[in-house]
């Protein structure tokens, strides 16, 4: 008898829809409640759930730690890079009007999407990195090892 059969089956069902819901929250963030922070946490939950049920090794095969650590920095780079691009276009730092000078409301739209993408990438990376850091810590020392 394989242990945790029900949890495995339900997890396989749920992980895909959790990721889909994360993308929905991510890209619907400028119309409805949601945005980068919430979407990042939901996306990380999918990987953490997978890691809890199937084991840390499987989760790290899907989402290696070096990718996670790069994502943490990449999101900040996207956020700051959006501001630098608007600077280079001759506007203020993070002035979204720069992205569509003739339709400022469209410019706000694009700018918010880019910034929220950066936030989502970083939050996903940080959450999964925290989980990896706790789950991969070595076993507690026994008394003989002191």
Partner 1 sequence: MLDTLINGIAWVLILSGSFFTVVGAIGILRFPDFWSRLHAASVSDSAGVILLLAGMCVYTGWGLITVKLIVIGLVLFVTGPTSTHAVANAALVSGLRPPEGKGLKGAEPEPLSNPTVDPTPI
The residue ranges that bind partner 1 (CB under 8 A) are 1-4, 6-7, 10, 13-14, 17, 54-57
- Quick one: 2 or 140, whose CB is closer to partner 1? 2
The nearest distance, CB 106 to partner 1, in angstroms, is 24
C-alpha to C-alpha distances, 129 to 11, 14, 47, 67, 124, nearest whole angstrom: 21, 21, 11, 10, 8
Report the alpha-carbon distance of residue 98 to residue 1 in Å, rounded: 61
Nearer to partner 1, 54 or 79 (CB): 54
CB of 72 to partner 1, least distance (A): 26
Residue 55 CB, nearest approach to partner 1 (Å): 4
The whole-angstrom distance between residue 25's C-alpha and the CA centroid of its chain comes to 12
In angstroms, rounded to a whole number, what is the distance separating the alpha carbons of residues 31 and 25?
10
């Amino acid at each position: 008898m394989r242990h945790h059969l029900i949890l495995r089956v339900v997890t396989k069902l749920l992980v895909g829809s959790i990721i889909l819901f994360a993308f929905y929250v991510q890209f619907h963030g400028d119309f409805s409640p949601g945005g980068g922070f919430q979407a990042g946490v939901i996306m990380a939950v999918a990987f953490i759930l997978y890691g809890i049920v199937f084991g840390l090794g499987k989760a790290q095969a899907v989402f290696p730690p070096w990718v996670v650590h790069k994502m943490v920095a990449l999101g900040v780079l996207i956020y700051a890079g959006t501001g630098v691009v608007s600077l280079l276009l001759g506007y203020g730092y993070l002035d979204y009007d720069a992205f569509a000078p003739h339709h400022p409301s469209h410019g706000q739209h694009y700018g918010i999407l880019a910034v929220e993408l950066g936030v989502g990438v970083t939050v996903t990376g940080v959450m999964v990195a925290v989980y990896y850091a706790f789950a991969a810590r070595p076993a507690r020392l026994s008394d003989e090892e002191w």
